[in-house]
């Protein structure tokens, strides 16, 4: 099924108008836009809760990238941190 989108671009009026069917997939869906690293973290945590140190052993990323990604996953409610900053771990909500 084809979906027709109309774009109206004029110099003084930059508007976007779209005719979108209710059956069209939502482009803002989290699962469709999730990063490869986020998918890997969610996959690892679905098997077993892990600390930041354990996650770093399994992924190919820096500590700051891991912290940024886990923060994003926490903000959207996919994972939660249990325990203290020093001895805590991540798990799937």
Instruction: Return all residues near 90 (Cβ < 8 A) that are at least 6 apart.
Output: 41, 45, 49, 50, 51, 52, 55, 70, 79, 80, 81, 82
Q: What pLDDT does 37 receive? A: 95
Q: What pLDDT does 34 receive? A: 79
- Is 30-92 a CATH 1.10.10.10 domain? yes
| Annotated domain spans of the chain | 30-92
Question: For every one of its 93 residues, what pLDDT tens digit does the chain have, with 9 covering 90 and above?
Answer: 444 444 444 444 444 343 433 444 444 454 556 799 999 999 999 999 999 999 999 999 999 999 999 999 999 999 999 999 999 999 999
Whole-model pTM?
Answer: 0.64
């Amino acid at each position: 099924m084809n979906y027709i989108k109309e774009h109206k671009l004029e110099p003084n009026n930059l508007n976007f108008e779209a005719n979108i069917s209710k059956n069209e997939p939502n482009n803002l869906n989290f699962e469709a836009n999730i990063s490869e690293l986020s998918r890997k973290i969610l996959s690892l945590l679905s098997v077993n809760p892990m600390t930041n140190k354990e996650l770093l052993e399994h992924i190919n990323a820096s500590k700051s990238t891991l912290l940024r990604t886990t923060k994003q996953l926490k903000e959207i409610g996919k994972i939660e941190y249990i325990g203290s900053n020093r001895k805590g771990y991540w798990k799937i909500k």
